[in-house]
Amino acid sequence: MKKYDIVLFDLDGTLSESGEGILDCVRLVFKETGRPLPDEKTIQSFIGPPMYESLKRCGFDHDAAEEGVEIYKKNFIKSGIYKNKVYDGIFEVLDSLKAAGVKLGVASTKYQKFTDRIIAMLKLDSYFEVVGGSTSLTGETPNEPKPRHNKVDVMNYVIDSLRESDNDRIVMIGDTKFDADGAAKVGVDFIGCLFGYGTKEEMEEHYTIGKPIFVGNPSEITEIILGGTKS
């Protein structure tokens, strides 16, 4: 008997191995704006949060961050988006969950248009009832009734779109502290993917409402959702 009715997946580092394309484009932002490249740990931290927020964290003011986002977008569409591949075992996981009647959604802070395009490019679109991403590449509020800028915004959007279950029947699957933090703030269970880009320690620290469940490979996700326990 399945443990959850609704399962949300992060994209980068959870469904797809995308780090090479993202980080190549981040480096081009610094090169094209004439700024010194940060250390590798800082560069790696760009995987997960919205690009605008990451640039601001690196000292870009609002105008410079907006320029950086445009540079990133230009290069990502040109080349970075194609350096993306589905992790081995993910299709089998999604097949099993869908066959069991689990409702599946994507909750990513990647820009919505990029998220939609990647999900379709990787032939994952038939599995997900809702694909949620950020509605703005910057921190500005677009002309929408419910703008989405962070993981909590996106998760709430996807859950509201799928809602037929209480929070204890919903789980977020991700690989970074941002996913863990979002799950904690929304109030749902969290499965941390150790094959992604974050660390176990960060995910444990940011999932403040309980103990995360960790998986070392995608097949373990199926076991937890359909045949494991929530301990």
* Structural domain contains residue 1: no
Same structural domain, 110 and 188: yes
- Among the candidates 33, 51, 82, a domain finishes at 82
Same structural domain, 71 and 105: no
Same structural domain, 26 and 89: no
Same structural domain, 156 and 48: no
Same structural domain, 132 and 108: yes
pLDDT at 139 over 70: no
* Structural domain contains residue 57: yes
pLDDT band at 229 (very low <50, low <70, confident <90, very high): very low
pLDDT band at 142 (very low <50, low <70, confident <90, very high): low
Same structural domain, 98 and 71: no
* Structural domain contains residue 162: yes
- Among the candidates 63, 82, 101, a domain finishes at 82
Same structural domain, 72 and 110: no
- Among the candidates 50, 82, 114, a domain finishes at 82
Q: What is the 3-state secondary structure (H, E, C) of the chain?
A: CCCCCEEEECCECCCEECHHHHHHHHHHHHHHCCCCCCCHHHHHCCCCCCHHHHHHHCCCCHHHHHHHHHHHHHHHHHCHHHCCEECCCHHHHHHHHHHCCCEEEEEEEEEHHHHHHHHHHCCCHHHCCEEEEECCCCCCCCCCCCCCCCHHHHHHHHHHHHCCCCHHHEEEEECCHHHHHHHHHHCCEEEEECCCCCCHHHHHHHCCCCCCEEECCCHHHHHHHHHCCCC
Look at the chain and report how many structural domains it folds into.
Answer: 2
Dump pLDDT digits (tens) for 93-108.
999 999 999 999 999 9
Range of the domain at 118: 6-17+85-227
pLDDT at 208 over 80: yes
Same structural domain, 121 and 164: yes
**CATH number for the domain that contains residue 48:** 1.10.150.240
pLDDT at 48: 79
**CATH number for the domain that contains residue 209:** 3.40.50.1000
pTM, entire model:
0.85
* Structural domain contains residue 130: yes
